[in-house]
Copies of this chain bind each other. A is one copy, B any other.
Amino acid sequence: MGDRAATEEAVARPIRFLTGPGRAQLVARLELQMDAIRRPDLRRLMGQAQGQIVDLCRWVVTELGSSHPDRDTALLMALVDGLLIAELKGATSDEGQRRRVRPMFDAAVP
């Protein structure tokens, strides 16, 4: 379980940053994302920039022993996106965030 906790932390850390000190960066990213929905050129650029996030998520699900890395990478990315939005919509504590991150992982890689 030590490894699992460390892997969990690898995703929990950027989530903590983006919903804490990096909040403005997260809001800017979401605004860009909204524009990208309308502009294919921007969508392409965003897709390229997202490579790092894809790599992190793929590493995490592989590390957690996923037998369907493609599926679980997409699932984890959708979860992280949804979780970030949920955090912005409500005021939450660090403890609450940890409580939500853990089931997310357990769900992403059963």
Chain A residues packing against B (C-beta within 8 Å): 27, 30-31, 33-34, 36-38, 43, 46-47, 68, 71-72, 74-75, 77-83, 85-86, 88-89, 99-100, 103-104, 106-108, 110
Contacts and interface: CB of A to CB of B under 8 A. Distances in A.
B34 A103 contact: no
B75 A103 contact: yes
Which secondary structure dominates chain A's binding surface?
helix
A37 B78 contact: no
Contacts of A34: 27, 30-31, 34
Contacts of A89: 33, 36-37, 43, 46-47
A11 to B, nearest CB: 13
Contacts of A37: 27, 30, 88-89
A72 B83 CA distance: 13
A71 B102 CA distance: 10
A103 B67 CA distance: 13
A103 B89 CA distance: 26
